[in-house]
Amino acid sequence: MTKGSLKFTTDNYYQLADGQIFMGPGFHVKEFNGIVPLFVVSYCQTGDEYLDDYAEQEMTSMRILKDYFGELPFRHYSLLLRKVIPPESVTAPSLAMEHLQSSTFFGDTSGIRAAPMSKEQLIRTMPTFLHHMSHAFIPLRCYGDAYRPYVMEIPPIINNIWFNEGFMWFLPYDTLKLERMKTGFYNNVYNGSPELKKLSLTQLSQAASTMYGTDFRIGTAVFSRGALMALEMNNYLKEKSGGKKSMKDVFRYLYQWAKLNQRPFTMEEFPLLIDKACRVNLSSIYKKWLLPIQ
């Protein structure tokens, strides 16, 4: 709309809080036919980007996630892209933000997409888009205690960011089969800061609650530990079941449990739930990864 008013309703506060607003004449919107309607919204300060490859990555992510979880929890999805010339030098990375049915990516204009990418480039640059769409399942609809309700004055201290982030970084590795991702997880955990390695996984998650992106050594350490926990569990499940069970079954079980119970799981419940998912005891792996890194 160029002027006037627009009225809309939301089902709850979180749907409103996770909404996205772009204003002004300098952005454009393109709709694509995915499993559900996809909207790509872009503002690029130095000129319009080529949007079709973003759409291909998002629509592929939809197909992967529907297969992984059995359904999509949104009726449509939107990707918002903002690329600007940085007003000043910054030390924190330009991290993206996930929402209930959309995701927002911030960045500078050095990496704009001006032309179609090769198939190899599409796969190589896809993990972060798949990762953030997967957050529509975990943790936005399946999460542990302290994630909600939001406390507006201060960030909540969350003990299981390793689950929210790490398990959803394992998913792109598991589905896209990019070995460089696993190499990155190992390097972040075992070749990272000695001080961070001394922290238990809960302590590291608590630090990440307020410093995940401010000091991204903390962010990469916490999600990499979570991803390696999921990876080890995945290998164990496949071994014990003769390849019939995997973390895909665990993720689907947790998501359906949250959908049925309409509440967060507690950290006391978490190891019991992942054991129930495939009727395989994963507690020894879980307890091992809670400890500091040796």
Predicted pLDDT of residue 86: 79
Q: How many CB atoms lie within 10 A of CB 291?
A: 10
Pick the closest to residue 49 from 22, 78, 76, 26 (CA basis). Answer: 26
Q: Rg of the chain's alpha carbons, rounded to an integer?
A: 19
Predicted pLDDT of residue 90: 64
Phi then psi for residue 82, to 5 deg, are -130, 115
Q: How many CB atoms lie within 10 A of CB 40?
A: 21
Predicted pLDDT of residue 163: 98
pLDDT in tens, 226-237: 999 999 999 999
Predicted pLDDT of residue 91: 59
Q: What is the C-alpha to C-alpha distance for residues 27 and 218, in angstroms, rounded to an integer? A: 34
Tell me the angle at which helices 270-278 and 283-290 cross, rounded to the nearest 10 degrees.
Answer: 140
pTM to 2 decimals?
0.94
Predicted pLDDT of residue 110: 85
Q: What is the C-alpha to C-alpha distance for residues 65 and 275, in angstroms, rounded to an integer? A: 22
Q: What is the C-alpha to C-alpha distance for residues 105 and 92, in angstroms, rounded to an integer? A: 14
Structure tokens at 105: 């990516």
Structure tokens at 165: 């982030």
Alpha helices in the chain (DSSP H): 13-17, 52-69, 119-124, 127-134, 161, 168-176, 179-190, 194-197, 201-211, 216-241, 247-261, 270-278, 283-290
The strand order across the sheet containing 102-108 reads 28-33, 37-44, 77-84, 102-108, 97-98
Pick the closest to residue 229 from 175, 269, 157, 282 (CA basis). Answer: 282
Low-confidence ranges of the chain (pLDDT < 50): none
C-beta separation of 46 from 7 below 8 A: no
Residue 275 buriedness (CB in 10 A; 0-12 / 13-18 / 19+): middle
C-beta separation of 164 from 138 below 8 A: yes
pLDDT in tens, 254-271: 999 999 999 999 999 999
